Amino acid sequence: MKKIKFFVLALGLMLGSVSVMAQDSTYLSNEYAKALALFDKSQKYNDALLTKQALFEILVLNPNDSSAMRSLSELYYNSQQYTSSALVSLDMLERYPNNEIALEIVALSYENLRLYDRAVEYYEKLWLKTENTNVQYQIAYLQYSLRRFTESETNLGMIESKVTAEDKISLNKSDGTIQEIPFAAAIANLRGLMAVEQGNNEEAKAQFTKAISISPDFDAAKNSLAGLNK
């Protein structure tokens, strides 16, 4: 199953905050400037530990620096420290409730922690803001994983009514590589998986066959059909 990753590590921080802090305290302003310099140096030397230290220092001095919070949450996420990436992003959402990046990092982090019900909650919040079909498909897949089949089918039907034959989604193959699949094939495959879970193997075979007819190289659908035919 593909993990949606819309973001990369942010490299720029809010330099304007230094002048604001200078009005309150020259000491704090100088410390903030040093923390920013440390961040820049850590980026130059590709030192993740130093980057983390710099971001902590920035956030201690300015807890509302959204760029620093985003960078720290992304750093945790890309380091597979999913509990920490979720906590930082939740902290960010307390200050900036409508931040789409924070919503997505929380959802992704919970998904990787296999807390699928929590992941769905935040993917749904993200979808309500973006109406992104990739996000909606992820919701449908996680609802299938939670055996919430009726909800999953509702989302698949909504996606089906919006996408065209040219619209595609990127999914993982069994070897870990990525392949682009028409949405129609991905929808049929997910319906097949739900049919298997509900003990309807004939319907599952029909859906997997449909998915393969739309996309003959669809790795997941071929593997699922082969498993049923054993």
Q: pLDDT (tens digit, 9 = 90+) per residue, 172-220?
A: 888 889 999 999 999 999 999 999 999 999 999 999 999 999 999 999 9
Residue 104 belongs to a domain: no
Residue 122 belongs to a domain: no
Residue 129 belongs to a domain: no
pLDDT given for residue 24 in this prediction: 56
pLDDT given for residue 58 in this prediction: 85
Domain end position, chosen among 60, 84, 99: 99
Considering the domain architecture, whether residues 87 and 171 belong to the same structural domain is answered as no
Domain end position, chosen among 54, 78, 99: 99
Considering the domain architecture, whether residues 1 and 82 belong to the same structural domain is answered as yes
Considering the domain architecture, whether residues 2 and 90 belong to the same structural domain is answered as yes
46: CATH: 1.25.40
- Model pTM score: 0.83
**CA dist., res. 222 & res. 10, Å (int):** 39
Query: Which residue shows structure tokens 């020259």?
Result: 26
Residue 127 belongs to a domain: no
Q: How far is CA 138 from CA 83, 85, 184, in A?
A: 20, 19, 15
pLDDT given for residue 56 in this prediction: 87
Q: Which domain holds residue 44?
A: 1-7+14-99
Considering the domain architecture, whether residues 92 and 160 belong to the same structural domain is answered as no
β-pair partners for 182: 168
Could you count the other beta carbons within 10 Å of the beta carbon of residue 158?
Answer: 14
Residue 78 belongs to a domain: yes
Number of domains in the chain: 2
Considering the domain architecture, whether residues 94 and 161 belong to the same structural domain is answered as no
Residue 173 belongs to a domain: yes
Considering the domain architecture, whether residues 19 and 94 belong to the same structural domain is answered as yes
Considering the domain architecture, whether residues 94 and 188 belong to the same structural domain is answered as no
Residue 56 belongs to a domain: yes
**Residues of the chain whose pLDDT is less than 70?**
1-25, 27
**CA dist., res. 3 & res. 75, Å (int):** 16
Domain end position, chosen among 99, 119, 138: 99
Residue 37 belongs to a domain: yes
pLDDT given for residue 17 in this prediction: 45
